[in-house]
Each structure stands twice: as structure tokens, then as C-alpha cells.
Amino acid sequence: MRTNEGTGVTIATRDVDTTATRVIGRMDGPTPGPVLVCVAGLHGNEPAGVEALTRVLNTLTVEAYQLEGTFVALRGNQAALAERVRFVDSDLNRHWTRERLGRVTLDREPDPTVSEDADLLELHDIISDVLDQATGESYLIDVHTTSGRSPPFSTVGDTLRNRRFAMQLPLPLVMGLEEHLEGTMLEFFNDQGHVTLGLEGGQHEDASSVDRIEAAVWLALEAAGMLPDPRAATRLAEARTFLAHLSRNLPRVLEVRHRHFVGPNDGFAMRPGYASFQEVTVNEHVADDECGSVTAQETGLILMPLYQPAGDDGFFITREFSPFWLSVSALLRRLHIDNILPWMPGVTRDPSHGGTLLVNGRVARWFALEVFHLLGYRKRRQMGDVLVVARRLEGGQAVNDKATSH
């Protein structure tokens, strides 16, 4: 037995499965084309994704489907997966910060005292190499499961290209999660110009989480234009019906409104019985911590209530994002309305960071964060009266044009 310092959780030490290699599998079509990379187990207590990706690759091999482009499936946190813990020393899905990546990828010397540094370097190199080989669009999916009960859903950083991809999966789409999280793998690769999507399969130990992830990966292969083989049609139709049935009573698109942050010594405990997309009302007593009751900040649908000791997201509150505003924001972005923002009173460009605006809250009082969201910006931070927002990168125009073709 040993204690995981990051979480204070005592875990049984098992033999590391030395046969578990980084690459679960790779399949190449006869000619180069789009590339889809799927990563599972960035959190080691979420092995359902590894199982699902293994199944997809087995079926692709046994049934000899003709693939267009390249499909690669990878394991995330190798040591944590072997020990079935979220992480060993540091959360690998908060590890992709500019300074850590700079140090690890430029010096090529992972910190030996941080288990996740070696994973970061290896994943960075493999994923970058494979995605950059795409002659069509390049897609990255990060597969997760949750500690609480949950139907499957997808998450994206709100770019038009990410939306288009995600909307082809019959799953609720949650936007704006990344605004609350720093150092995620998807944000790093999104900023490199790739299409990115987070896939949440359901509860960690729920056997059906594997089925749901498997179905979503089949549909992602189809959405990426990589599975034109007519023999796959029945399998794809079944996957679509299966996921559509699970999503039938849920909103199509949601936005994250609040995140309840949990510090290491907060003593946070969710009250029992909450599941993702369950309705909560403002001031509802949803959890307890050392300061007393934790209540819902507003009425909405709760997302990812925390029912495990590790992790710093207690829960999120989301609300439905109407299809009308989805269309409006797509139109505003295509018209590049945001070009006039720096001319507005109280709004200035950050001279040191392209695509970043500084908004003086005292002058631009009427400018709500929602307006920046519609125009494709995300909140970076609040510095006193000044709100810092940055444009989410859509990637190059050439890539954009290709994305609209399927």
C-alpha cells in the first residue's frame, strides 16, 4: 500500500502492466486523408475508454473495413491506468500549460519526480506527429468517464469547426467547459489548429459506458469522413439509434455557467443522488464542505457532480443554449463582426498577445461576457476592473474550407 500524495488516497499497489503500450492501435487506409486520434485514460481511473477503443480497432481489423485516412488510439496516463487512480503525481489533463510544455518539449527532459511529465512528452510528440500528417482535416478526441451517474455527452471549445464535428454525434453538446479549466490537452491541440472534442461516456464503473464510447467513436469515424465503406452502414445506424435514445430527453446544446472549485482541504462532499443533467434550483443545498452548505449558484442542470476523492471540480451548472443563438453566433463570426471590437470604448487590443482583448469593466459596462462568447472569445481572467478575453482559434482558412466539405 502507499499514499498518493496528490490526493491523500491510500491505494493498493499493483504490478504495472508492462504489456500495456502507449499505442492501443493504429489503422491506415490505402491513401492519406483525414486523421482521427483518440486518447483514453488521461485519468487512470477511467479505463472504459481504453476498452472501447480496443473494441473498435478489433472490429475494424476482423471485419476488414476499408478506412479512409488514419485512425490512432492511445492510452493516456500509463502509470495511473495501471494503478486505477486519477493520477500519480499531477493531473495529466491539467498538465498542458504553456510553461510546462515549453520546458518538457524543448529540454526533452521530463521531471523524474513528476510521473506525468514523461506521459506529456510522449503524447505530445506522438499526437503532433500523427495529426500533422493529415492531408484532410485532423481530429482529436479525448475520452473520459465521470464519478457520478451521467448519460453520455460531448464537450467542445466553442469554435465553428468543433461545433460542426460535435453536432454530427447525437449527444448533448456542452460548450464553455474549457473556460473553467487550465492546461487541458484539448485546448493545447485546438490552439494548434486541430478539431477537438471531449467525449464523456458515463459513470466510471458502469459497463454501458464502454458501449456508449464505442458507439460514439464509430460515429466520429463517420463524421470525419473516414468510414465510407457501405458494409459499416448497419453498425453506424445502430450506434446512432443507441445514442439518440439515451439523449432523447436532454437539450441539444448547453453552456457552462458555473464551476464549483474544490481545494485539497475543502472536505467537499456532494450530497447523494445527483446525476449529470439533473435539474437544480438556485440556492439548492447540493453539497457540504468545511465551511458548511454548498448551494447551487443558479437554477440549471448540474453536470459532473464529484463522487470521488480526487479532482478539483465539485460540479458545474449548465443551461440550455438555444439553437437561435447558435445560428446568430455562427453568422456574426463569419462576418468577422469582432473586427470592430477594438474600436469600442473601453476595449483595447493586448499588444503582446494577438487575438486578446482587454475590456475595462468601468467603461464597457454594457459589454457582457455573453457578447464575447457569441463572437468566439473566451474569458482568460479578470484583473480588477479589466476582463481579459481571447479569441478561440479557428485554424487556417484552408483548413476551414476543407471542414465545410463534409
Could you say whether residue 43 binds Zn ion (CB under 5 A)? yes
- In the chain, count of helices (H) and strands (E)? 11, 20
Nearer to Zn ion by C-beta: 87 or 367?
A: 87
Could you say whether residue 95 binds Zn ion (CB under 5 A)? no
3-state DSSP assignment of residue 202: strand
Whole-number Cα distances in Å, 34 to 129, 137, 399, 402: 14, 5, 11, 10
Tell me how far, at minimum, the Cβ of 67 lies from Zn ion, in Å: 27
Q: Which stretch binds Zn ion (CB under 5 A): 10-18, 40-48, 195-203, 220-228?
A: 40-48
Nearer to Zn ion by C-beta: 79 or 388?
A: 79
Tell me how far, at minimum, the Cβ of 76 lies from Zn ion, in Å: 9
Locate 255 and state its grid cell: 453552456
Q: Quote the CA–CA distance of 156 and 109 in Å, as a whole number.
A: 31
Q: Which stretch binds Zn ion (CB under 5 A): 45-53, 214-222, 264-272, 303-311?
A: 45-53
Locate 138 and state its grid cell: 485532423
Backbone angles phi, psi at 201, to 5 degrees: -90, -20
Backbone angles phi, psi at 375, to 5 degrees: -85, 5
Tell me how far, at minimum, the Cβ of 80 lies from Zn ion, in Å: 11
Sites for Zn ion among residues 46-75 (CB under 5 A)? 46
- 355 contact partners, CB below 8 Å, separation of at least 6: 390, 391, 393
Tell me how far, at minimum, the Cβ of 153 lies from Zn ion, in Å: 13
Binding mask of the shown chain, residues 313 to 342, with x at each position contacting Zn ion by CB under 5 A: ------------------------------
Could you say whether residue 204 binds Zn ion (CB under 5 A)? no
What is 114-151 written as a DSSP string? -HHHHHHHHHHHHHHHHHTT-SS-EEEEEEEEESSB--
Nearer to Zn ion by C-beta: 43 or 75?
A: 43
Nearer to Zn ion by C-beta: 46 or 214?
A: 46
Q: Which stretch binds Zn ion (CB under 5 A): 42-50, 161-169, 176-184, 352-360?
A: 42-50
Tell me how far, at minimum, the Cβ of 157 lies from Zn ion, in Å: 16
Q: Which stretch binds Zn ion (CB under 5 A): 35-43, 321-329, 360-368, 389-397?
A: 35-43
Closest CA to 152 of 241, 256, 252, 247: 247
Q: Quote the CA–CA distance of 68 and 323 in Å, as a whole number.
A: 32
Q: Which stretch binds Zn ion (CB under 5 A): 43-51, 101-109, 266-274, 325-333?
A: 43-51
Q: Cβ of 307: how many Cβ atoms within 10 Å? A: 18
Nearer to Zn ion by C-beta: 127 or 227?
A: 127
Sites for Zn ion among residues 112-151 (CB under 5 A)? 144
What is the total count of residues that contact Zn ion (CB under 5 A)? 3
Tell me how far, at minimum, the Cβ of 146 lies from Zn ion, in Å: 7
Nearer to Zn ion by C-beta: 49 or 395?
A: 49
Beta strands in 165-235 (DSSP E): 173-175, 195-203
Nearer to Zn ion by C-beta: 142 or 338?
A: 142
Nearer to Zn ion by C-beta: 43 or 378?
A: 43
Tell me how far, at minimum, the Cβ of 182 lies from Zn ion, in Å: 15
Tell me how far, at minimum, the Cβ of 2 lies from Zn ion, in Å: 22
Nearer to Zn ion by C-beta: 81 or 374?
A: 81
* C-beta of residue 75 within 8 angstroms of C-beta of residue 43: no
Tell me how far, at minimum, the Cβ of 371 lies from Zn ion, in Å: 31
Q: Give burial (CB, 10 Å; 0-12/13-18/19+) of 223.
A: buried
* C-beta of residue 391 within 8 angstroms of C-beta of residue 332: no
Q: Cβ of 258: how many Cβ atoms within 10 Å? A: 17
* C-beta of residue 329 within 8 angstroms of C-beta of residue 349: no
Tell me how far, at minimum, the Cβ of 49 lies from Zn ion, in Å: 9
Beta bridge partners of 254: 174, 320
3-state DSSP assignment of residue 14: coil
Nearer to Zn ion by C-beta: 94 or 240?
A: 94
- By the criterion CB under 5 A, which residues form the site for Zn ion? 43, 46, 144
